[in-house]
Chains A and B, each alone.
Chain A
Amino acid sequence: MKTLAGLIKGVWNDKQGRLGLIIVTLLALVALFAPLIAPYDPYDVNQRADKGLSPSLSHLLGTSLTTGQDIFSMLIYGTRVSLTVGVITGIAIALLGSVLGICAGYIGGVCDMLLMRIVDVMIVIPTLPLTILITNVFGKSYVVIVTVFVLFGWSGLARTVRSQVLKLKSCDYVKAAELSGASKRYIMFRHILPAVSNLVVMSTALTCAGVMIAEAGLSFLGLGNPTAVSWGKMLADAQSGGSMLFGQWWTILAPGIGIFISVFAFMRIGLAMESVLNPAMKGRSGLGRLMRKMRRGELDKVLAEMEEPE
């Protein structure tokens, strides 16, 4: 088993994973220092220029057709919404999904049955229409969106964790802990949770990516916070403002590329973690991978992994 630091190091050694890590760090910096980087404040009504300006030195990507905000600044501020919604939802889902998955898997019985029935229901309910309905009832805000994503998004992770826990349950060290009189809670948090934590971290990266796409879609439909600057809303404004009619393709390309890059980076990290944790899953030939690892002097690690009971 790997520690979190070991996992990140593994991702860093993966070429694609490193790309993902670098991009996410850059995006986080951009989001954090948005007011310093952006030449204009898109939230400030006084800093609006003429509508639909073409790119120039004073407005790198021109201005929006509907409001006259500087698109480059909006792009930078949009990072904040996308990253916060994605990361907060991802972490909350990771916590909820792993706790519920461990409970279902380890305690079993009624608890397991109840949770799995809830999961059955959640899989059936269409997520996007449900989110739309709930934003209609509770108002359009990112708090509502994140809550809905978390409450209805943990089922996938809980299922994966549960099946993993069922396997771990019959492991010798868990049995030994049980026999020596450890409480269920102790076993769950001291033995089972660390064993599934890597799986959870990996799926969190992929969840973040998925949530960011979903958030963009909702903002595009006009269901996010109407006053916030987000990439999805920029796309919607560009489309409804007729930017395509006027041939202003950059107003569509810029936020789209923003969404793409951030989602891509999180996916890359997730996939790199997957191949670090579960080398057999990697699509390429096993021998080639072994050779590469040998070159990096990681063979010992690989062998250690092989000896571990799955």
Chain B
Amino acid sequence: MKAEKKQNKHIYWNPYFGGFLLGILIIFTFYMTGRGLGATGAMKSSVVATVDTISHTHAESNSYYSKFINKDESVLNNWLVFETIGILLGAFISGSLAGRIGLRTQHSPKITSRRRLVFALIGGVLFGLGSQIARGCTSGAALSGMAVLSTGGFITMLSIFGTGYLAAYFFRKNWI
């Protein structure tokens, strides 16, 4: 244990404590707004907003963008966008209190940071794609879905972690 503390200099919360608070937060969110948390929604909004500013006609003609474009208000004027701003702020506060702030690339000592960044990009693209197909990411679909016992939420959760374990073997060099 002592060795671990020496090496892993960041002390995090007990996972059960974090989970408990997260659960309370989900209850509070549902109690207030009637729906769960989300993270990719805001990213989707920003993509739509960017495409819309670059080429309005293109965004209008695409059946996916046009769903989110509203003439009266900006796409970014959205509950999830504000929530995401909150996430950034909250994480920054927590990180600065614990002294974890700093520009760096975190990777296993066995791989270069360039390799890490390439795989992060691939992972990001896949996650972006998948989250749109499944209509939600781990927080929006799986976590909030599970809180209300949504069938889709459970399927998404099982699918993410099931595939994760299947694919883990091929990516092991990046992590261990």
Q: Do A and B bind each other?
A: no
Interface residues of B (CB under 8 A from A): none
